Amino acid sequence: MASFSELYGAEYRRLVAELFAMTGSLAEAEDLVQDAFGKALARWDRVGALDVPVAWVRRVALNAATSQWRSLRRRAGTALVVDPGDRSPPPEPVMDLIVALGELPAAQREAIVLHHLTGLSVTEIAELRGCPESTVKARLQRGRARLAVLLADDAEEVSRP
């Protein structure tokens, strides 16, 4: 069993990157990951005994992001807005991807991020989200198709004189 400090040091940056891809906001991603690690620390006797404690932290952070996104969408009735905060923005292709991910429905965006950016298998995502593997596969397929259209539109705009 790794210590809390070891887990935090090894996984913090990766989780922030994953949540940034989900939320489009670096500040929000950092807050979500910090909160999830805070909850893990408060329950470290139980969380630290898990086979993969980072999976618990990831799930808590993703659940919080999903809840915030739904609440914001309900209140504002608008799509996700990218806000890199005070920090220097990522390279343009990364921002194009983040913006395109923000156009996807939350379930598709989450499946794409967890599978392609985090490297979780379809089975692992299905277990994490408590849904059938076929649902994850459908979300991935629909999300990829929509991203292809969105990113192709961006490429056409760039190549036009």
For the stretch 25-57, pLDDT in tens is 889 999 999 999 999 999 999 999 999 999 999
* CATH entry 1.10.287 includes domain 1-87: no
How distant is the alpha carbon of residue 161 from its chain centre?
Answer: 35
Q: Where are the alpha helices (DSSP H) in the chain?
A: 4-23, 26-42, 44-47, 53-76, 92-102, 106-112, 122-129, 133-159
pLDDT at 80: 43
Tokens 């390279």 sit on residue: 91
Instruction: Give strand pairing partners of 25.
Output: 83
Looking at the chain, which residues constitute the CATH 1.10.1740 domain(s)?
A: 1-87
- Region 81-89: mean pLDDT is 51
Residues found in the chain: 161
The residue type at 8: Y
Architecture of domain 90-161: Orthogonal Bundle (1.10)
Query: Cα–Cα distance between 143 and 37 in angstroms, integer?
Result: 29
Give phi and psi for 25, each to the nearest 5.
-130, 120
On the question of pLDDT at 158 being above 70, the answer is no
pTM of this prediction?
Answer: 0.65
Specify the pLDDT at position 81: 47
* Closest residue by Cα to residue 60 from 26, 19, 95, 106: 19
The answer to whether 61 and 19 have CB atoms below 8 angstroms apart is yes
- Ordered DSSP codes for 26-50: HHHHHHHHHHHHHHHHHTHHHHTTS
pLDDT at 25: 85
Separation CA 70–CA 124 (nearest Å): 23
